[in-house]
Amino acid sequence: MPRTSQRKPRTPVTRPLPPWAERWDELKPDPFRTAREVLPGLYQVRTRGSRAYLVVDGPEITLIDTGNPGSGARILTALRELGRSPEEISHILITHYHLDHVGGLPELQAFIPARTGVHLAEAPHVASDDPLPNPFQHPLLAKICEPWLSRNDPGAARVDVHLNDGDELPGLGGMRVVHAPGHTAGSISIYFPERGALLVGDAMQYKFGRLMLPSRLFTQDMEEATQSVRKLAALDFETLCFSHFRPILTGADQQVREFARGLAG
C-alpha cells in the first residue's frame, strides 16, 4: 500500500514516439546518447543523482539501480535509444537502499512488471511503508537533511527476490551477486566473470584517478567497507564500474589490489 504522506510515484511518459523521433534515436551521435556502452551489452545511464546500468543480452534486459525519484523516464529513453522497449526489462537489481539508487524503483514498477531483486538485509527498507532510513552518519547533518529526505522519499516498492552472496543470475555469461557490506549492511556488487567486469555501486569511489573507500558521510561501517574492498580485490576483472564515477576500462583488478594493500587495519 503506498504511503499516504508521501508524493505519488511519477509515471514515465508512455506515448509512442513519432517516426522521425525513433529515427533520431537510432542515428544520434554518441555525445547525445543517454546510454554509454561500457562493454558490449553493458550500458551506463546517467540518472538523477547517480548512474544506472542496463545489461542487454538477447531478449532479456536487466536494469541495475534506478537513480533518484524522477529517473524512470530517462532510463526508458536510454532503452529506446538502444532500440529496445520497457517490457523487455525482465529484472531490476538494486545495489543498496540509498535514495539515489532505489528512488526511481516505484515509478518504474508502476510501468513495467520486472522482477526486482534486493539483498535480504535491505529488502525490508525498500518494501516498507516507512521512509527510507536517513543515510547521513553525522547526527546534525541527518537532522538538517531530514525534511528534504522525507519530501523526496519514493514510497514503498515491490521486492520479488531476496539476493544473497554467490547468487547467480543470467546475462552476459552470468552475473554473480557479491555481498560487499559496509556502505550499507546489504550493499552488493555485481560480478560478470565471463566479461571480466565488476560493478561496485557505492562500495568504492574513484576520484581524480584514485580509488577511495566509500564516503564517510554516508557509510554505516567503515571497517566493514574496508573488508569488502579486500574481498572484491580477490576477484579477476578488467573493467570496474561505479555508481557515481567514470569506469576504469582496463587493468582495474590490479588497481583495486594495490589500493587494498595500502588500506590500514
Residue 248 in 3-state DSSP? Answer: strand
**Looking at beta carbons only, is 144 or 217 nearer to Zn ion?**
217
- Residue among 34 and 219 whose Cβ is closer to Zn ion: 219
CB of 104 to Zn ion, least distance (A): 13
Q: How far is the CB of 97 from Zn ion (least distance, A)?
A: 8
In the complex with Zn ion, the residue whose CB is nearer, 137 or 255, is 137
**Residues 28 to 57 in contact with Zn ion, rule: CB under 5 A:** 50
By the 10 Å C-beta count (0-12 exposed, 13-18 middle, 19+ buried), 105 is classed as buried
Give the x/- contact pattern for Zn ion in 237-256, rule: CB under 5 A.
Answer: ------x-------------
DSSP β-bridge partners for residue 89: 61
By CB under 5 A, tell whether 119 contacts Zn ion: no
What is the nearest approach in angstroms of Zn ion to the Cβ of residue 154? 14
CA separation for the pair 11, 182 (Å, rounded):
33
Q: Any idea which residue has 533518484 for its cell? A: 68
Closest distance to Zn ion from the beta carbon of 155 (Å): 19
Beta carbon nearer to Zn ion, 191 or 242? 242
Nearest approach in angstroms of CB 99 to Zn ion is 8
Query: How many residues lie near Zn ion (CB under 5 A)?
Result: 5
CB of 81 to Zn ion, least distance (A): 24
Site string for Zn ion, 191-210 (x = CB under 5 A): -----------x--------
Site for Zn ion in 79-98 (CB under 5 A): 98
Which residue in 25, 65, 100, 107 binds Zn ion (CB under 5 A)? 100
Site map 154..193 versus Zn ion, x via CB under 5 A: ----------------------------------------
Neighbours of 216 (CB within 10 A): 10
Structure-block grid coordinates of residue 248: 576504469
Q: Which C-beta is closer to Zn ion: that of 74 or that of 98? A: 98
SS3 125: helix
What end-to-end distance do the CA atoms of the chain give, in Å? 45
| Strand locations in the chain (E) | 35-39, 42-46, 51-57, 60-64, 89-94, 115-119, 161-163, 168-169, 175-179, 188-192, 197-199, 205-207, 210-212, 239-241
**Phi, psi of 230, rounded to the nearest 5 degrees:** -65, -40
CB of 46 to Zn ion, least distance (A): 13
Q: Identify which of residues 9 and 67 has a Cβ nearer to Zn ion in the complex.
A: 67
Closest to 54 (Cα-Cα) out of 88, 29, 79:
79
Return the bridge partners of 190, or none: 177, 199
Applying CB under 5 A, the residues found at the interface with Zn ion are 50, 98, 100, 202, 243
